[in-house]
Amino acid sequence: MKSIRTSRFGRVAVVAGAASLLLTGLTISTTGAVAGAGAMYHKTLACEVTDTGGVNDRSFNASAYQGLLAAKKVAPTFITTKVQSTPSSGTEPTYQNEISSFVSQNCNIIITVGFLMSDATWNAAHQNPMDHFAQVDNSNSSPGKDGVAVKPYKGTAKNILGLTYETQQDAFLGGYEAAAYAAAHNASAPKVATYGGEQFSSVTYYMDGFYDGVQYYNKHMAPKVPVTVLGWNEKTQKGTFIGSFTDQTTSATDTTAFLSEGATTIFPVAGADGLGTTSAVKTWNASHSLKANVEWVDTDGCVNDPANCNLFLSSVTKGVAASVKAAVLLQAEGKFAGGDYVGTLKNGGAAFIEDHGTAGKQNSMATLAEIAKLTTGIENGSISIPVAGK
């Protein structure tokens, strides 16, 4: 397994106390943006730059694209869309080139997807102050003086809307559920595992929440043998990372190693890498009596990968599609404003989904009841889930 440590985590700022609204008052929900009655739309070209995974990564790039299409469906005579996927090199110059291309095509709003585009989006916004940008997994704040970002190195931009998500909240529920499953099915040596694509805060927030959920189970349910988390240690911020979001071969190898150590649930926070995990788990289950399962990330696994629905214990998701849809509709209504949207369990910007396949049906009623209680506690603030750098 490849263990990577980097100092870049924590650059995605999560704004404390954000409400369930985008700055102009457009409500975000799990079903999408709600436009006002009789909304007046303007001709809008909405353009998306995906990261290397592309629109078919069955993860956050795909979700952003779904949001783009959902906005177009609301006002098809006014909204048109374009998508460009970053080449597999995924370097800063390639991100800048893709964004610059859309600027030259007079896109009214440019959606950039992923932590790696923070510098390029910031630079483009300051070089083109009349253009509007919304960035998934990045807040509206300077990425800092690191040799790539342009001045100013501090502050916010009036033409950037940051779309971030407190995914540690629903990942906490996933960690608790995975721990409960492990304790019930492998009581003598219960283990679960998680790994990331690359070590960015948008990845490690998930992993921190998952880790905390397991520790909560150990503390409050007091299993005879505490459940061990493989692949991540929140205290040291060290763990297993593939080094890419498109390397399914390595993810399958690492997953098999986790399974060999006794993990019964694998939580891949790695976009398309997760398909390597589902493949490895399916192969493992075919020849082992102790069955393993997967918790999918970003989207509902049973929707985006229906062929593997029976493998999914649950899905730990973020409301990317809903927030992108809302951002595009704001632009089309002439109401775009820079600022930040923060998705939470309470406002629907983060959601924990109990999947309906074979694995999901194995959760006990007691576990499901406790998850419901934990959800209420997180939403009302009685349960707080810390993450590194916050």
Half-sphere exposure of 114 (CA within 13 A, CB side): 30
Q: Where are the domains of the chain?
A: 42-165+320-343, 168-318+359-380
- Position 16 confidence tier, pLDDT thresholds 50, 70, 90: very low
Contact indicator for 63, 320 with CB cutoff of 8 Å? yes
Mean pLDDT of the chain: 87
Smallest CA-to-CA distance from 48 within 136, 138, 165 is with: 136
Smallest CA-to-CA distance from 320 within 52, 54, 68 is with: 68
Residue-wise pLDDT tens digits, 127-163: 999 999 999 999 999 888 776 778 888 889 999 999 9
Separation CA 77–CA 48 (nearest Å):
19
Residue-wise pLDDT tens digits, 302-352: 988 999 999 999 999 999 999 999 999 999 999 999 999 999 999 888 999
Residue-wise pLDDT tens digits, 363-375: 999 999 999 999 9
How large is the angle between the packed helices 201-221 and 168-185, nearest 10 degrees? 50
Whole-number CA gyration radius for the chain: 20
Separation CA 28–CA 160 (nearest Å):
18
Homologous superfamily (CATH) for 168-318+359-380 = Response regulator (3.40.50.2300)
Q: How much of the chain exceeds pLDDT 90, in percent?
A: 72
Instruction: Please state whether beta strands 79-85 and 44-50 pair in parallel, antiparallel, or not at all (unpaired).
Output: parallel
**389 vs 235 pLDDT, higher one:** 235
pLDDT of residue 152: 83
pLDDT of residue 366: 95
Contact indicator for 289, 272 with CB cutoff of 8 Å? no
- Cα–Cα distances (Å) from 38 to 54, 75, 324, in that order, read 35, 12, 21
Judge if pTM exceeds 0.75: yes
Separation CA 227–CA 263 (nearest Å):
10
pLDDT of residue 272: 87
Residue-wise pLDDT tens digits, 192-233: 999 999 998 889 999 999 999 999 999 999 999 999 999 999
Angle of CA points 101, 104, 105, to nearest 5°: 90
pLDDT of residue 59: 79
**Residue matched to tokens 């071969």:** 249
From the candidate CATH numbers 1.10.10.60, 3.30.1780.10, 3.40.50.2300, 3.40.1400.10, the one assigned to the domain spanning 42-165+320-343: 3.40.50.2300
pLDDT of residue 54: 83
pLDDT of residue 177: 98
pLDDT of residue 20: 35
